[in-house]
Amino acid sequence: MTESSLLVENSAPICIAGMHRSGTSTVAQLFHRCGLYLGQKDALYGSQPANPDGFWENREYVAINSQILKMLGAGWDFPHPLAEGWHETEQLHPVRAQAERLLKEFEGHEPWGWKDPRNSLTLPFWTSLLPELKVVVCLRNPLEVALSLQKRNGSSYAFGLNLWTIYNQRLLEVLPPNQYIVTHYESYFYRPQIELRRLLDFLRLPASDQLVAYARSSTLKDLRHHSVTIHQLLDADVPEQLLELYLRMCRKADWDHDHPTVLDSTNGSEAALQERRPVV
């Protein structure tokens, strides 16, 4: 058995989570191009104006997440507090049986996983079924998320910022440190190959440098619509709780807004960039 096949055999199922408009689709597409099974092609949502390259969401996982939230009187845009142990209530037994059947369909397709921002709210349900589950938490500047949501849904800045806080708080509250990795959306415009390799290594997913380069080059197209600096966030008078949470998650993502890095092609080392932002 080769080292690569051993890595795949030992890899855990992967759940891609994070607030809506935080790069979850980009990460899912990159992983898919590196060999992650997301389900049959006709089970994935296609492209729409909000995501011209596709959402890379499996309809069945999204349906289960939506059903869970609906049964609990919540929604992706109304994540009210849930009672302790909510995921084990008898009310959700039919949904649990449905989820168990779905997970069995993915057995034998290692490495496999699924992407849905709603995972951020329903994660205790999934980890009760998959204790070994690894989670990729997608992070983006809260103001960029609020701008993107406003453009897509016509929602207010306050709504977007509050939702961003709830989604990320819920994730960090339930995840042990060794079960998740945080990745910053900005990384894919400054150091995409380095960031993708960092995630793949954590998840024990084998991929050659050539495959990583291909995944990167075929995925990052016309993704940039809003670019907000950390200084703009600091000047925006956002709640202190939000700011502290964002900066803490940036550290977990190894992301420094003031000194982003790229791989120096001349000597293979990381080199600090001067202030040079991608084109909006």
Matching CATH number, 3-272, of 3.30.160, 3.40.1000, 1.10.357, 3.40.50: 3.40.50
pLDDT of residue 270: 39
Q: How many residues does the chain have?
A: 280
Q: How confident is the model at residue 230 (pLDDT cuts 50, 70, 90)?
A: confident
Angle at CA 271, nearest 5°, toward 268 and 276? 130
pLDDT (mean) for 5-32: 85
Where in the chain are the domains?
3-272
Q: Round to whole Å and give the CA distance between 15 and 206.
A: 17
Give the model's pLDDT for residue 126: 98
Measuring CA to CA, which residue among 153, 170, 100, 86 is closest to residue 129?
A: 100
In the prediction, which pLDDT does 9 show? Answer: 55
Q: What is the mean pLDDT of the chain?
A: 87
For the stretch 109-139, pLDDT in tens is 999 999 999 999 999 999 999 999 999 999 9
Highest mean pLDDT pick, 11-15, 89-93, 151-155, 231-235? 89-93
Contact 109, 82 (CB under 8 A): no
pLDDT tops 90 at residue 249:
yes
Read off the pTM.
Answer: 0.87
Ranges of H-type helices in 52-191: 59-71, 93-106, 119-129, 142-153, 157-174, 187-190
Task: Tell whether the torsion through CA atoms of 194, 246, 65 and 225 is positive or negative.
Answer: negative
Tell me the mean pLDDT in the region 4-26: 82
3-state secondary structure of 37: strand
Does residue 50 carry a pLDDT above 80?
no
* Among the listed residues 124, 120, 157, 125, the one whose alpha carbon sits nearest the alpha carbon of residue 139: 120
Type of residue at 47: S
Mean pLDDT of 20-46: 94
